[in-house]
Structure formats: structure tokens, C-alpha cells
Amino acid sequence: MHHTIEVKALKFAYPDGRQALCGVNLMVEPGRKMALVGPNGAGKSTLLLHLNGIFKGQEGSVEVAGLSMDNGNLGQIRAAVGLVFQNPDDQLFSPTVFDDVAFGPLHMGLDEHEVHHRVESALKAVQMESYINRVSHHLSIGEKKRIAIATVLSMSPEILVLDEPTAGLDPRARRNLINLLRDLDMTMLVSSHDMALVAELFPLVAIMDGGQIVAEGETAVLLADKGLLERHGLEMP
């Protein structure tokens, strides 16, 4: 049984020379829910973009769903890793909700019947079945975030990777999203500044700072360590 995500000694520098990842090691086992926390500039978003091959590290390796990161595997990797970005506007580029959620399955070449089935199940999983024919542009940010999750769920990924899911949400929308994530029975890796979310939903946490994972383990243990949190620009609410 493979690890869903296996990152080993990953190093990555941007074209302008800035070293963003300095040897990252991270394993996520199937079925686990892990949070990724750390200050801005730690490299969290950069790391996430390595998980579906958008960035390629200069050193080290990334294996996802048992597949190594080569060009030949990218298509399957993107089906296995459902990456949801922070700003839903970047992901909802179709006129209707149906079109957006159907993009993934359509790209995969599934037949029409299967596409419809996938769209309906994905919207059901985020409790937005009635939105199927709505115009994405007019939705509220909370609604858009849930649709954005549906757009990757329709590809039946092995793992859901989310970048700042609760950013910009009002308390009600945030509560709805937390409930949604709790009810989704999937492997998850979530990058977030929302420490209350982390404490509530994620049994495992990895702390990232300066391009490396500096601590990893059970959330209850790590988040109780005030000194550790403070050293890496974090605090509990």
C-alpha cells in the first residue's frame, strides 16, 4: 500500500534564484487528515504546487498515489490529487456550475452519462445539488469555495489538497465549510492559517518554516507547545 503523498528531500528555487524549498520531507498516509501550517513565505503554497506537477523540484523526489512525478504520469497524478486553490475565482471559469464541475471529467475523456453522474455526486458531496445550473459568477464566496471543491471531487481524487479553505469566509460560511470537510471521508492535506480549524479537524499537523518541515506529529501535542508555535510565527486563537 503506497503512501498517498511521499515527498523526499525536495529542493526548489524560483527562476529568479530564490530558494523556496530547502529539503522537504513529508509523508501522508491514506485516510489521514493532515494540516500544513507556518508563516507566510514558509513555502506552503509552493510545496502544494509540487504535488500535482505544476512545479518540479530541482532535487529530491515527489511520489503521489504510488506514481513518480514524470511527464507521462501527470494526467493520472492530476486525477489523483484534487488541488483546490485559495481564490475560487481562479477555478471557476465556466458560465455555469455544471460546466465547471464537469471540466475535470470531460478532460479525462469520460462519456456523457458518466460525466453527469460525477457532477451530481460531487455537488451532493458539497451539499450544493440545487446549484447545478446557476451562474458561477454570481455566487457568494462561501458558495464558490464549495463549488471549487466539487470541481475537483468530480475527478474522484485519492487526496484532497486545499490551500487556505477558510480564508475570506464569514463565520457562517466558515462553519458550513468545516462541517463539509469533516463529513468528507477522504485523505486530506490542508494548508491554513486558521489554527482553530486545524485544532478542530486535523489530527495530524506539519509545521513548515524557511522551506522545510520543522515539526510534524499529532496536533494536540504540537499545538500545545507554545514555544514551538512562537518560534515559527504561529499562535493559537
Partner 1 sequence: MHIHLVDQYQAGSSIIHRRDPRIKVGLTLLFILTASLLPFGAFGAYAVLFATVMAVAVVSGVGVSYVLKRSFIALPFALAAITLPFTIPGETLLTVPVFGGIIITIEGTIRFASILIKSWISVQMAILMVAVTPFPDMLWGLRALYIPQPLISIISFMYRYLFVLSDEVLRLLRARASRSAAVPGKRSGGTILWRGKVAGRMAGSLMLRSFERSERIYNAMASRGYQGKFRSFARPSLNSTDYLFLMLGIMFFGSILVVSFT
Partner 2 sequence: MIHRLSILLRPEALHIPDGFLSAPVSIVGWILAVIIIGYALRQTREHLGERQIPVLGVLAAFIFAAQAINFPVAGGTSGHMLGGALAAIVLGPWSAVLVMTAVIGLQALLFQDGGLLVMGWNIVNMGVLTILTGSLVYRFLNGRLGRSRTSLIIGGAVGAWLSVEIAALATAVELAASGTTPLNIGLTAMLGVHALIGIGEAIISVGALLLIHSTRPDLLEMGETAPGQSSARWIGAGLALAVIVAVFSFAASGSPDGLERVAEDQAFIDTALDPVYNIFPDYTLPFIGNETISGILAVVLGTMIVFGLLYLFGRVLRRRTAG
Give me the residues that bind partner 2 (CB under 8 A), please.
15, 94-96, 135, 137-138
Span near partner 1 by CB under 8 A; candidates 27-35, 100-108, 175-183, 186-194? 100-108
**17 or 237: CB nearest partner 2:** 17
Q: Does 152 bind partner 1 (CB under 8 A)?
A: yes
Burial of 226 (0-12, 13-18, 19+ CB in 10 A): exposed
**137 or 175: CB nearest partner 2:** 137
Report how far apart, in Å, the C-alpha atoms of 159 and of each of 112, 186, 211 are. 25, 6, 23
Angle subtended by helix axes 141-153 and 112-125, to nearest 10: 130
Q: What b-and-e string marks burial along 174-207, b requiring 16 or more CB atoms within 10 Å of the CB? A: bebbbebbeeeebbbbbbbbbbebbbebbebbbb
Using an 8 Å Cβ cutoff, are 236 and 229 in contact?
yes
Q: Does 46 bind partner 1 (CB under 8 A)?
A: yes
Q: Which of 45, 121, 127, 212 touches partner 1 (CB under 8 A)?
A: 45
What, of partner 1, partner 2, none, does residue 49 touch, CB below 5 to 8 Å by kind?
partner 1
Site of interaction with partner 1 (CB under 8 A): 14-16, 45-46, 49, 52, 54, 74-76, 78-79, 81, 83, 85, 87, 89-95, 99, 103-104, 106-110, 136-137, 151-152, 155
